Amino acid sequence: MTQLDMTYVQSQFPGLTDDWVFFDNAGGAQIAKPALDRMTEFLTHRNVQIGGSYAVSQSAAEALLKGRQAAATLVNAARAEEIVFGASTTVLMGNLMQAMRSQFSEGDEVIVTMADHESNIGPWTRLAEFGVTIKVWPLNAETMDLQLSDLEPLMTDRTRLVCVTHVSNILGQVHPVGDFARFIHDRGALICVDAVAYAPHRLIDVQAWDVDYYVFSLYKAYGPHGAVMYGKYDLLAELDGLYHYFYGKDKVPGKLEPGNPSYEMAYAADGILEYLTGLARHHGVTGDDRALTKAAFDLITAQEDRLTDRLLKWIAARNDCRVIGTDTNMDSRRVPTICFRFDGINSGKIAQAMDGYGIAMRFGDFHSRRLIEGLAEDHDDGVLRVSMVHYNTVEQVDRLTAALADIVSKDAA
């Protein structure tokens, strides 16, 4: 496997400066230049409402369509109408719940997990007001991830929907969502996946996995603030519209995009695709956009594994620090989002001290509060999180660990 040309990679992210090392990428990552260029081009030359007969309006609509097609390619959707744009994953999940509301009857059951960000729990728990029973798929204490053996006893013939994370933004383990989908479909329910912590790191293939709803945020995947929801066309067509009574059920995806999405955000998805395909081409790969995207994520994974292994090794060599969740990266099953804590030292104090070293990281519960509380990690300002992406380097990890060692030794002194 070819190694990433890091000079090339870093040249593609205008926000990367020498001043800061960004290790808070699961909070928000840098935007790739082609995505930024799309936004500038849209706002400079096409910034009008779509739907008009005049040329500029047609051109704005083309940009939105191009963004939708690019997002469809990125997730491998069968058609562009299966892509719904929204302001954030939180907004899209809340909207999905509203649009599904009338499909649930009293006594139906929805399963959420203990490992999810609140975005994929909170909206569904509100269905309890309508007589829906909410059950919780627990984290497996042995494997520290979600296991089907723990889901099985929860499923009944009233289970309508299972809402699950592809990767927890705390634990970093990739779940086999294709296996999950098969298991859940076999028992007559639908699956809704939060892929926010997965999308920046690995290839998405909604058709291969046969997932029903799949949601992630663009601003953590090298784009601007905004998010994408994939839904199978027939399922989207069944959803209730979110506004305007004269929008029919067949107005997919418009009935699910109240007031229209941000056009420049949507168009930027085409820039993310250009970045990924360009990355593969730069490394000598040829093929169609999907093949190039796959090759790009293979390269990205190899670089991320180097970063993950470096940091995990450093933590393992210390006796005052422990990883939250699994501390190995078997078969690249871990993304480089690593939470940990030092014995007896407040996590917030450490993260804030890192500011002085020019290293951006974060502490707390990362809105996966139920998980952090369930693991009894909510004391001392929660956990520390270093969340890396492929534009980070091994040298930056070494800078991070040297700074951590320095801070911790001063605290002990």
Ligand X SMILES: Cc1ncc(COP(=O)(O)O)c(C=O)c1O
| Interacting residues toward ligand X by CB under 6 A | 26, 88-90, 117, 119, 169, 194, 196-197, 217, 227, 367
One-letter-per-residue 3-state SS of the chain = CCCCCHHHHHHCCCCCCCCCEECECCCCCCCCHHHHHHHHHHHHHCCCCCCCCCHHHHHHHHHHHHHHHHHHHHHCCCCHHHEEEECCHHHHHHHHHHHHHHHCCCCCEEEEECCCCHHHCHHHHHHHHHCCEEEEECCCCCCCCCCHHHHHHHCCCCEEEEEEECECCCCCEECCHHHHHHHHHHCCCEEEEECCCCCCCCCCCHHHHCCCEEEEEHHHCCCCCCEEEEECHHHHHHCCCCCCCCCCCCCCCHHHCCCCCCHHHHHHHHHHHHHHHHHHHHCCCCCCHHHHHHHHHHHHHHHHHHHHHHHHHHHHCCCCEEECCCCCCHHHCECCEEEEEECCCCHHHHHHHHHCCCEECEEECCCCHHHHHHCCCCCCCCEEEEECCCCCCHHHHHHHHHHHHHHHHHHHC
**Cα angle: 178, vertex 201, 122; to 5 degrees:** 65
Encoded tokens for 170: 């705390």
Alpha carbon 239 to its chain centroid, in Å, reads 23
Residues found in the chain: 413
Residues 253 and 84 sit within 8 Å (Cβ to Cβ): yes
Encoded tokens for 285: 């790969």
Write down the least CB distance from residue 315 to ligand X, Å: 21
- Tokens 């013939």 label which residue? 157
Write down the least CB distance from residue 374 to ligand X, Å: 16
How far is the C-alpha of 110 from the C-alpha of 44, rounded, in Å?
45
Encoded tokens for 249: 């059920």
How far is the C-alpha of 330 from the C-alpha of 86, rounded, in Å?
35
Cβ closest to ligand X, residue 117 vs residue 310: 117
How far is the C-alpha of 255 from the C-alpha of 250, rounded, in Å?
8
Cβ closest to ligand X, residue 95 vs residue 119: 119
Cβ closest to ligand X, residue 193 vs residue 400: 193
